Structure formats: C-alpha cells, structure tokens
Amino acid sequence: MSDWRTFFDLPADAGARELKRAYAKLLKQYHPEDDPQGFQTLRQHYEAAQQALSAAAATNAEEQTQAGSRLSEPAPAPAQTVAAAMPWEADIAGILQALKDQREQDAIQRLDQFVQQYDHNLQAEDMLQWELFAWLDGQNDKALWPAGFVHHLVQTLALHEVAGRDDVMANRLQLYARRDHRQESGLSDGDYLHLLNREQKVQQAMVQIHRVWQQQGEQAALETVNDFARQHLFTAPLSRKIFAGRLLRELDDYFPGPLPLQLAKSLNEHLDIIALRKQWPQEYQHYERRLQAAEITQRYQTLLNPASRSAEALVWKSLYGITRLQKFAFYNPFEVFEQLGMAENAVLECEEEFIQFELPDRRAWDDVQAWRESFMAGDLNTLALTEFDFQALAARLKKILLITLLVGLLNGLLAAGMVAVGGSWQTNWWPAVFPAMGMGLYLAFKSSLYLWLRYGYRPVKIFRLALKSRPRARLAFFVLMALLSVLALQGNEIMARVVSVVLLLAWVAYAHYEQPYRSLAAGFIIGIQLYSSEFFASFLACVAVATLWSEMIRIGLNYQMLERGISWQMKTRTAYIVLTVLLGFLVRFVVDQFH
C-alpha cells in the first residue's frame, strides 16, 4: 500500500492530523453499511498510512538521537525514544485493549484518566481521537458495540459541538448512532444528535447551578436558574425530561448535605418531575422524602437560635447536635420526653433522609434515642442530672464574702468618720447599715443557691422520678396533699403555718425542683409564713394550697394535650402567679363562708 498518499490525496509532508481529516472525509463516500468493499479498501489504506507515519517518526527520532549524542553512554533505542516523546501512546493502547476485551467500564475509567492527565495537550487528544475512531469505525458487530463508552466519549470530548460545525464529525456520529442501542428504540440519526446536544446543555446547566450554589449561595443559584429559564432551557419537553431525570438520579451527588429547599422548589416548578414517577419510582420517592426533610429543617429553624429555651427547642437543638440532653439543665424531663415523641412523629415519613442529609452528625440522633430509652427505663444515672460547676460557684461565693467584708469595713470607717466629725452612733448608723444589709442579703441568696444545687437538687429529683415510676406512690402523694390542704384551711393558726410550709415544699419537689430560683422564692414565702401575723399566715396557707393544686392541674392538662399533639405552655409566669393569688383569695372566701 505504497500509494496511500495518492489514495488520500495528501502532500508529501502530510502528517497524522492531515491523514485523520482525509480519512474522516472519505467515510462519507465509503460507508461501511452501504459500501462494505469500499470501506475495507479505505481501512487497508488507512492502516498502511498509520504504519508508514509511525516508521517515519521512529526514523526521525533515531536520526536526531544519533546526531545529538556523542556521549560515552549508548543512545536509547528508537522505540524507547518515541515512547518517551509520546508517553500517551501506552495509555491509548490500554483504552483500546480494554475495548477489545469488552471491558467497557474499564475503558471509560481509562478515558477519564487520560483526559485529566493530558488536558490541553492537542497532540495527545488528536492521537486519542485518531486511534479510537479508527478502531470504532471498523466495529460492525452490533453485539460487541460499546454503546456506553461511545456515549461517554461524545460527552467528554463535546463531539456534538464539533459536529455542529464539521460535517465529517457529524457523519461519524450518524454512523455511531446507527450502531447505538438507541437506534433500536426508534431514534433516527438526527434525533440521536439532537438528544446528545440536549444532554450536553443540561449537563452544563446543572454543573453551573451547582457551582454557583456552592460558591455564592442559594440566592445566586436561584438567579442562575431564572437565567436558564429565560434562555428557554426548560421550554422544550425533551430538555425538561433530561434535566428532571438527571436531578432524580444524581440528587445525592449534587447535594450530599442539607438540601437547599428554595432552589429545589424552583427547579421543581420548571421541571415536570412528577411525570417521571413511574419511570423511576424509587428515585422519585427518595426525592420526595428529601424535600420533606428539608421542609422540616426550615420549619424548626427558628427553634435553633440561642434565645429559644423551651422544651421543644431543646429537643430540636439536641437532634441537630447543638446541645446534648445529658448535659442540659432543662425544666421538666417529662415534658422534653413528650416533645421528643412529637419530633419523631414529624420526621417519621422521611427519617432516613432526615438523619443522613439534614443532620450534621448521626451521633446526635443516637444520643437522643439513648436518652429516650434511659428515660423510659427510669435510669436515674443517665437522665439529665444538671451538671453544675460547684468549684466555680464556691470560688464566686468566697469572692462575694470578701467583697461583703470589705464593704462592711468601709461602711464602718465611714460611720466612724462621721461620728468623729460630730455626732453619735445613734444619728449616723444608717450609712453603714443599709449597704451592709444589701450585701448580706445578696450573700445569703448566693449561699442558699449553692446549698440547694449542691445538696438539695439530686435527692428531690430522685423523689420526683420515684413518683413517676410508681403509680401507687404517686396516688399516695396526692391523697396526702389533699389531707394537708384540708388541715391548712380548717386548722388553727399553728396548723396553718406548719401545713402550708409542707405544701410549699411539696410544690417545689413536684413541679419546680429543676428551677432553683423558684425554690428560693418558695423558701422566702415559707420564712414569711413562719413569722407573719395570724391573718397573713392564714392567707398564705390559702395561697400555698392554691399554688400546689393549680400547678398539679396544669401539669396534668399539659400532658393530656401533648398526647393529642397540642403544645401548651404557660409562658407568662407573672400572669400565672396573679391567677394563683386570686385563686387563694377565692379559697379563703369559700373557707370563711363555711366558718
């Protein structure tokens, strides 16, 4: 085949690039299915031309090596020199061998590695196309046709764009389309090229939207989607179908974390995703569950800020890993348990998607479930026993004590100075007494707080949990409180004082043992009760009865409402106290009427 230059009408200095273009042009004339004999002749001349050019390249490399090397070391062999000059030949040979062995996925991986390694190397790309087209053109057996590899090749090298301005490439893609399995589905050559063009545009659009979302945020990505809509990308039914299909199949690849809900809804408005429900049922169901999970995140986002301190906020903060139930001093663990059940019901339909994509770490979910199991089992060592820093509190008390002594000393010096100027202790006692009393009360308050947290909190909590886990003990407690209430209202002054103290302590133990400030307030009322007048003691006894029972009724109503999915909390404590006092007056009035 020495006349290959004449056959391809090439000049004497023509190289591989010119041969490739000439060969592609003659493919129009010698189509393998229309003219098998002519195509065979074309292939023979083409192979002869390849061998001749390879031999010429080896000869030139050998001559250059001999002319430039007068060194003591022997010159490398011509084949080694050519291999060193064109390292991509071995990679191309590996791709071809994988195709010949019908290892299509291996060939696709090798192609991706080649494109990544020799990016922007025109010589390597030309050699790749030359060798691949030469091999693919000779494959007439449809059973051995690597349809997936060809489709990936067209997408990777953007050959459909070349076909739009190069008739040779368009003719080649039409040839490949006839052999592609898509032809069996009824697609014509023109439809196949149109499909490739649409798929490439959709791929570019998805990549651009994803890149803008990562770099500039969701709002910028929404603007990008609107730009594509103005370019009529979503107008054609074929483009919408391709875009929706890729979004369903590759949703987790593009959004491996929390789903940008507004962006997803915007794409959903432009795409007819529901039309693919029957074609990809599992992918569509997964897509719907991810949308539900993202809506849950948006719905409860306001509860995740530091200002939210309700039981509901605590549960959602724990689910998102912001805090942990085991280390949080919440007000009422029973209420938190109910809120946790409501949260689990909210994510029931999309639980796996919510845990995998919306939560930053699955361990937070596991921690919450562990707390829930411990609560149901009544494990006192695992439940949220508040972790106070007693050393820091003790150090603060010492500091307060020193400040109090210092202020008292300064007040004493001030009073002594005023007496020395002219006067007596009887007329100048108030500058020293009032500041000292203020500091003393503050010190007493902090000391009481420390003692309560250090010695009173844990046993009272154990008592409360014991009432929860033992229905008989809880019933006995209610009966005892009822008897004490009758004694407080019907007994004499001493009985009213003593019993009201017991009722206030029961109120603290039953409802507010997690809140030390309310416990101290109850202690303050107890102090007034013990040293007040007869009328005031009788009135405070009524208040104590009203406080205890109204609080127990509130807790009972709260549990009943939570079981029915209604969240009700008494937010305004001032209004609650006013109602309690008014109820105390009402109780006192009823008692006076009976007397």
Q: Which pLDDT band, with edges at 50, 70 and 90, does 220 fall under?
A: very high
Reference 502, options 516, 515, 483, 520; nearest CA is: 483
Burial of 99 (0-12, 13-18, 19+ CB in 10 A): buried
DSSP 8-state assignment for residue 77: P
Degrees, nearest 5: CA angle 448-449-452: 85
If you average pLDDT over every residue of the chain, what do you get?
70
Distances (CA, A) of 281 to 257, 276, 293, 353: 22, 8, 18, 16
Structure token digits, residue 129: 């196309």
* Residue-level pLDDT at 330: 45
Q: What average pLDDT does the segment 15-31 reach? A: 70
Reference 550, options 527, 532, 573; nearest CA is: 573
Structure token digits, residue 465: 């949990």
Q: Which of the pair, 424 or 502, is modelled with greater confidence?
A: 502
Degrees, nearest 5: CA angle 124-129-135: 130
Tokens 């490949």 belong to 176
Q: Is 188 in a helix, a strand, or coil?
A: coil
Give me the phi and psi of 211, to 5 degrees please: -65, -45
CB of 464 within 8 A of CB of 508?
A: no
pLDDT above 70 coverage of the chain, percent:
47
pLDDT digits (tens, 9 = 90+) for 388-423: 445 655 666 666 666 666 666 666 666 666 556 655
Q: Which of the pair, 43 or 91, is modelled with greater confidence?
A: 91
Residue 209 to residue 112: CA distance in whole angstroms: 23
* Residue-level pLDDT at 363: 86
Q: Which pLDDT band, with edges at 50, 70 and 90, does 75 fall under?
A: very low
Highest mean pLDDT among 60-69, 118-127, 446-455, 494-503: 118-127
pLDDT digits (tens, 9 = 90+) for 103-113: 888 888 888 88
**Going by C-beta distance under 8 Å and a sequence separation of 6 or more, which residues neighbour residue 532?**
540
- The amino acid at 145: W
Q: Which of the pair, 84 or 364, is modelled with greater confidence?
A: 364
Query: Residue 51 belongs to what H/E stretch?
Result: helix 36-68
Residue 270 to residue 385: CA distance in whole angstroms: 52
- Lowest mean pLDDT across 97-101, 351-355, 558-562: 558-562
Tokens 């080694």 belong to 80
Is residue 503 scored above 80 in pLDDT? no
* Residue-level pLDDT at 223: 92
Is residue 336 scored above 80 in pLDDT? no
Q: Is 33 in a helix, a strand, or coil?
A: coil
pLDDT above 90 coverage of the chain, percent:
2
pLDDT digits (tens, 9 = 90+) for 577-586: 555 566 666 6
Is residue 97 scored above 50 in pLDDT? yes
Residue 284 to residue 268: CA distance in whole angstroms: 12
pLDDT digits (tens, 9 = 90+) for 278-320: 877 888 888 999 999 999 988 888 888 877 767 788 888 888 8
pLDDT digits (tens, 9 = 90+) for 312-331: 888 888 888 887 775 444 44
Give me the phi and psi of 320, to 5 degrees please: -90, 5
CB of 156 within 8 A of CB of 115?
A: yes
Residue 66 to residue 64: CA distance in whole angstroms: 6
Q: What average pLDDT does the segment 11-33 reach? A: 70
Is residue 544 scored above 70 in pLDDT? no
Q: Which pLDDT band, with edges at 50, 70 and 90, does 571 fall under?
A: very low
Burial of 93 (0-12, 13-18, 19+ CB in 10 A): exposed
pLDDT digits (tens, 9 = 90+) for 446-476: 666 666 666 666 676 667 666 666 778 777 7
Reference 128, options 98, 161, 157, 148; nearest CA is: 157
Is residue 548 scored above 60 in pLDDT? yes
Residue 348's Cα: distance from chain center in Å?
Answer: 17
Q: Is 378 in a helix, a strand, or coil?
A: coil
Is residue 202 scored above 50 in pLDDT? yes
Domain residue spans of the chain: 4-62+81-196, 197-299, 301-377, 389-455, 470-595
Query: Residue 95 belongs to what H/E stretch?
Result: helix 88-100
CB of 107 within 8 A of CB of 150?
A: no
Q: What average pLDDT does the segment 375-382 reach? A: 56
Q: Is 553 in a helix, a strand, or coil?
A: helix
Query: Residue 418 belongs to what H/E stretch?
Result: helix 390-422
* Residue-level pLDDT at 12: 76
* Residue-level pLDDT at 310: 74
* Residue-level pLDDT at 492: 63
Q: How many residues does the chain have?
A: 595
Q: How many CA atoms lie within 13 A of 422 on its CB side?
A: 0
For 19-41, letters b (16+ CB in 10 Å) and e give bbbbbbebbeebbbeeeeeebee
* Residue-level pLDDT at 435: 62
Q: CB atoms < 10 A from the CB of 324, how many? A: 15
Is residue 89 scored above 60 in pLDDT? yes
- Lowest mean pLDDT across 63-67, 86-90, 122-126, 406-410: 63-67
Is residue 487 scored above 80 in pLDDT? no
Q: CB atoms < 10 A from the CB of 486, how many? A: 12
Is residue 568 scored above 50 in pLDDT? no
- The amino acid at 224: T
* Residue-level pLDDT at 374: 73
